Homo-oligomer: A and B are copies of this chain.
Amino acid sequence: MKQAQRIVTVPTRGPGLYEFTDALSGFVREAGMETGLVTCFIRHTSASLLIQENAAPAARRDLERYFERLAPESAGYEHDDDGPDDMPAHLRTALTQTSLSIPIHDARLALGTWQGIYLFEHRRDAPEREIALHLVGE
């Protein structure tokens, strides 16, 4: 049994879903493990992780619009020092994921056919986002 770690940086350009499945697959391939568990951990509280449909762009647009309505701007938040998109970003992060773990089988991510792994950016003008990856296996 051994471990591998990597920080992946994902540049974002405003709110929306940014796929990083290929970066994660590359990390697993380079680590050279056949069987294991990979964990993604996003180091932010105003962006999150999500596994979603990777084929239909319309489904991703519906998903983005849904979260805009579910945790809207201009809802009279007490915390508004960091701009109107900051508090909704924390709420949308709370409703989705900060960590995700995926088994590795036959040296590949055990994803279903339609699953893509996304960073979900909730802010309009965010710094580069960091995702810490951890792999344990052999």
Residues of A in contact with B (beta carbons under 8 Å apart): 1-3, 5, 35-37, 39, 41-45, 50-53, 56, 58-59, 61-63, 66-67, 70-71, 77-79, 81, 86-87, 90-91, 93-103, 105, 110-112, 114-115, 130, 132-134, 136-138
Given contact pairs A43-B111, A59-B87, A98-B115, a sample of 6 additional A-B residue pairs in the complex whose CB atoms are under 8 Å apart? A44-B114, A59-B79, A70-B70, A99-B100, A99-B101, A112-B130
- Residues of B close to A45: CB separation below 8 A: 51-53, 112, 114-115
- A65 CB to nearest B CB, Å: 8
Alpha-carbon gap, A114 to B130, bound state (A): 13
A110→B132 contact, CB < 8 A: yes
A62→B78 contact, CB < 8 A: yes
A77→B101 contact, CB < 8 A: no
A62→B37 contact, CB < 8 A: no
Alpha-carbon gap, A45 to B136, bound state (A): 25
A52 contact from B51, B78, B94, Cβ within 8 A? B94
